[in-house]
Amino acid sequence: MKIYLKKSNINFFVILFLGSVLSKLWLNVYVWVATIIVIFFYFIILDFNKLTISTALIKEFPFFLGAGIAISSTIVYQQNIRYVIEILINILLSLLGYYMLSLLGDKYLKSGIQFLCILLAVVCVFGIFEYITKVNIFDNIMIGELSGYKNERIYGPFRHPIIYANCMLFGLIGFIFLFRKSVLQRLAILLIISNIILSGSRSSWLGIMFLGLMAICRVFYKMKIKLSKNSLIYSFLALFSIWLFYKLKLLTYLVSRIESVFGYNNGYQRIATIFYIIKNFVAGSIDNILIGNGSHAAADIMLKVTFQWTNFSTTDNLYISDLYNFGLVYIFIMCYYFLKIIKRFIKNSVDKLELMLESVLISFFVVFFFYEPFVHYPVSSLFFVSFGALLYKWNTSLIYT
């Protein structure tokens, strides 16, 4: 297994992610923000002549339109500079992903992803230790124990089981696409999968299952929808996985996760939140419906009502929050990119880095239906850098099938 590193450059993806994890551990966003700013200034100072909004990036008009809507609605309706800075940080992360690949090349980004995957696999070893001993060593080293999940679900250095599993999805997909098949690679994959299961994050399981479904669609598309030995094998494996989930009683556990969003049985908070937000959204003016009410607007109105839990300022659903915060046009842009990612994944390039990035984003988009990710710095780093790099791949790829 070879990992390509340029001796003259630090791998910025690794540094960004480590900065985000430290910020999460210390509950101090400034560590992460400082890391982003330093890296961005590095590009400006050392690569200023190459640092331009290229023709390829300009083609992604929906990206700039969505960013403009988010900033504009926040300035007009929220008038909070901190919220605007949060949006700008996510835009910067996307640009850093774009320029990282544009200026430094595929091998550089691959090496960073591979290194991150190895780090995540090492964290998984501590995850097994946490599950067995019920002791999270990261809590003991940093800021004390996290209440609410002790003895139930592992969460490593990420302060929450869902964030832990979401980041592990990145590592799992990276090992599948960017590492040579070997005993160590298979062991790492099994280790990460076991940690995702032990985290109890059914949202991440759904992300894996949806990605698996898209992979089957890709196989059938490549085979012109003709049954063959390989397609039958993939279908058998999919059915076997469902059977295994059923026998281990994981399927029931998974279904209950969906019920908690759409049903009244276990999650009145969630379903009541969805209806409450949508009711307020459609009652707004036409400009609010089109461009929203500004960042954090959904959280603000959530604090004014209690369905089940007090001081609960989240809808636990990125799409419901963003519908109210940024409006219909923004949501259409999100759907456009989600569908474009799926289409490219199924139909196009054989470039493993592109397929890896698309796989990450497909699985993340599914998980985001069950919580709000961008207040968690490690997830933001992985998502937006991957998205920015993928924009570059789409607009410069010469391989189409």
- Residue 106's pLDDT band, with cuts at 50, 70 and 90, is very high
How much is the pLDDT for 347?
A: 84
Which of the given ranges, 177-191, 257-271, 298-312, has the highest pLDDT on average? 177-191
Q: Is residue 7 part of a domain?
A: no
pTM: 0.85
How much is the pLDDT for 215?
A: 85
pLDDT for 148 beyond 60 = no
Q: Is residue 1 part of a domain?
A: no
Q: Is residue 51 part of a domain?
A: yes
Supply 140's token pair.
Answer: 């003991």
Show the domain range for 195: 12-396
What is the tens place of the pLDDT at every residue in 246-300? 555 555 554 454 445 444 444 456 677 778 888 889 888 999 999 999 999 998 8
Do residues 169 and 196 touch, judged by C-beta distance below 8 A?
yes
What is the tens place of the pLDDT at every residue in 19-32? 999 998 888 899 99
How much is the pLDDT for 163?
A: 94
How much is the pLDDT for 5?
A: 43
Q: Among residues of the chain, what percentage have pLDDT more than 70?
A: 76
In the chain, how many domains are there? 1
